[in-house]
Amino acid sequence: MKELWGNLKFAWKYAKNEKKQIITYGVLHLLGIIISIAVPVISASMIVKLTSNLLTQTVFLAFCIFAIEISRNFVNYFNGLLTNKIYKESFNRIQKDLGKEMLKLENNILDSNTSGTFIQRLTSDTSQLSDVFNSLGMYVSNLIEDIGIFIAVFYVNKIAFIYLFICTFIVTLIENARTTFLKNNDKELRSRKDRLTGLVGEMVRGARDIKMLNAEKSFMKEIDRNVHNTNDFRYSMMVTNRKFLLLGGNTRDLTDIGLIVVIILLMTSNRLPVASAIILYNYSISLPNLAFDLGRLLECIKTFNLSSSRVFEIIEGKKFKKEKFGKKHLKKVHGDFEFKQVSFSYNQDHPVLKDLSFKIHANETVAFVGKSGAGKTTIFNLLCKMYQIDSGEITIDNVNIEELDKDSIRGNITIISQNPYIFNMTIRENLKLVKSDMTEKEMVRACKMACLEEFIESLPDKYDTLIGEGGVNLSGGQKQRIAIARAFIQKTEIILFDEATSALDNETQEQIQKAIENMKKDYTILIIAHRLSTIQNADRILVMEDGRIKEEGTHKELMKKSKTYKHLYESEIK
């Protein structure tokens, strides 16, 4: 009960703006309950009048029932409208809030979970959470209606009440066993759905690579295995559920026959009038629903609790940790930063950076070189606070980044990666992501600087051309140039190029190099490059090896004093 109350308070945050609609919904439901209790009494009276040949009174009661039933239809109609509005508004808020909180998750959490883990929570779980006020309201009102009928039966005949109470109790035990079984297995089913959804997402995103690798059969074998595992488990659950429903249904049917026997015995002993017998029979149609309504209510509560906990885990960060930032804000960053004895590992067994120390000055262009795995990209990730360092200190403008707020760090740093993610939007929308008030002039200028103008002009819809998920319709070089154009629009003080020209042809790379040269002295620029010819004009080049800075200097200096750098450079020329 404590868990339910906590989850209801959590859900109420997203529905409280519809307080008036929820109150109206409750009042209408109460009216529906009164109608449901009253109709069997009026129906019984009408049948008695009919058998007594009182036709005028029979017709009057028939019209009364007709008017009441029409009223019930309107009550149900308006309740449906209110339900849809409450669901829509609360669903919008929950999904928006959950999406926002997902973007705050630590990157190691994102790395260690499949996309399906989050997709299912954002779609299925939020939907069930939003539906709670409709479902719980409906089942609670049905339950109150059933209890009201029970009270009415008690006043009509106490023997019939005892009989129906015992039968309802037995069916309730069966329903409770059914809902407990479903709850215990639903968590495992959702976990399997998470894995399957993640795998399907990977299939869609990686379809081209799967085809190129001629791996359709092996990938589909993996999909097939997960589909079978999920559906077999769901089927097993449904079979057991059907068995419970069969047992409950048969018990209910036995209750109906038994009640008729009880009514006949009471009538033959003159302990039950005909009108009361008809009322009891009319009520008996609804009464066994008490057990099923209670079962559905329990099932709804258990489903709601599970969905709430899965959404709550992300929003409150109890299981999925969030990124943490300080409160200090730097309005304008100059571009100085320093690593002081920084150590870091993605997992404890494999350290990537070891007591790394270096300093970068504002408006300096610095390049990092070294073999793959030396820790170059990790430096960029840590500077953007994408991961938490194990020890040491990173400062921007002499302020520890642990003290800085998110905007002071990421609002002042642009990273252009080797394989940038391009969103399934138009080119214009992709560029507008980094600056919502971007002007046409800024957009065209940035695309010219990124050598994109000729390509964009060749497209049928120019800047309004839809790119496709992950930039699937673009070459590697075109994706990198869009990412570079985004950086030019963002205009941050620090720009990080992580192999940002690796997919460009020599001519385009030369043009981009000129654009980068034009940015020198105005920005702090860090470059990771395997093509050492692209960084010869850097102010400094830091040679990395095994998570440390081994040597540093200009291109000319390193060619003279560094065997490692000279070897890398000569290997590239060969």
174-192 confidence digits (pLDDT tens): 877 887 787 778 777 877 8
Same domain, yes or no, for 424 and 456? yes
- Quick one: tokens of 65? 């029932």
The answer to whether residues 352 and 345 touch, using CB atoms and an 8 Å cutoff, is yes
> Is there a domain that residue 535 lies in?
yes
Residue 285: what pLDDT?
A: 65
Rounded CA separation 545/376 (Å): 9
Whether the CA torsion 329, 333, 334, 336 is positive or negative: it is: positive
Same domain, yes or no, for 443 and 526? yes
The answer to whether residues 44 and 279 touch, using CB atoms and an 8 Å cutoff, is yes
- Quick one: tokens of 162? 């005892």
Inform me whether the pLDDT recorded for 503 exceeds 60: no
Rounded CA separation 134/486 (Å): 45
Q: Which amino acid is at 71?
A: S
Residue 483: name the closest of 527, 420, 539, 542 by CA.
420
Residue 165: name the closest of 284, 277, 247, 246 by CA.
284
Same domain, yes or no, for 347 and 277? no
Q: CA angle 166-172-173, nearest 5°?
A: 95
> Is there a domain that residue 385 lies in?
yes
- Provide the residue range defining the domain that includes 366: 337-573
Q: CA angle 340-343-348, nearest 5°?
A: 165
29-54 confidence digits (pLDDT tens): 777 777 776 776 677 677 667 666 77
Residue 5: what pLDDT?
A: 65
The β-bridge partners of 339 are 358, 394
Residues 6+ apart with CB under 8 A from 228: none
Residue 410: what pLDDT?
A: 81
Rounded CA separation 103/180 (Å): 35
Which pTM value belongs to this model? 0.64
The β-bridge partners of 328 are 404
> Is there a domain that residue 393 lies in?
yes
Phi-psi region of 356 (alpha: psi -120 to 50; beta: other; left: phi over 0): beta
Portion of the chain with pLDDT greater than 70, in percent? 78
The answer to whether residues 360 and 348 touch, using CB atoms and an 8 Å cutoff, is no
Residue 164: what pLDDT?
A: 78
Q: What is the mean pLDDT of the chain?
A: 76
Residue 15: what pLDDT?
A: 64
Residue 74: what pLDDT?
A: 82
> Is there a domain that residue 439 lies in?
yes
213-256 confidence digits (pLDDT tens): 566 677 677 777 888 888 888 888 888 888 888 887 788 778 77
> Is there a domain that residue 219 lies in?
no
Provide the 10 A C-beta neighbour count for residue 218. 11
Same domain, yes or no, for 350 and 287? no
Q: Which amino acid is at 295?
A: G
Same domain, yes or no, for 547 and 419? yes
Residues 6+ apart with CB under 8 A from 164: 150, 153, 255, 259, 284, 287
- Quick one: tokens of 248? 């409950």
The answer to whether residues 438 and 431 touch, using CB atoms and an 8 Å cutoff, is yes
Phi-psi region of 270 (alpha: psi -120 to 50; beta: other; left: phi over 0): left
Same domain, yes or no, for 268 and 414? no
Q: Which band of pLDDT confidence, cut at 50, 70 and 90, is reported for residue 130? A: low
Strand, coil or helix: what is 187? helix
509-535 confidence digits (pLDDT tens): 776 676 676 666 677 888 887 777 777
pLDDT, greater one: 67 or 317: 67
Number of domains in the chain: 2
Rounded CA separation 396/335 (Å): 7
367-409 confidence digits (pLDDT tens): 888 777 777 888 888 888 888 888 888 888 888 888 888 888 8
> Is there a domain that residue 218 lies in?
no
Rounded CA separation 347/326 (Å): 25
Same domain, yes or no, for 180 and 58? yes
Strand, coil or helix: what is 459? coil
> Is there a domain that residue 173 lies in?
yes
Q: What is the CATH number of the domain that holds 383?
A: 3.40.50.300
> Is there a domain that residue 355 lies in?
yes
pLDDT, greater one: 482 or 503: 482
- Quick one: tokens of 370? 């070294």
Portion of the chain with pLDDT greater than 90, in percent? 0
Same domain, yes or no, for 268 and 302? yes
Between the alpha carbon of residue 569 and those of residues 547, 563, 566, the distances in Å are 20, 10, 5
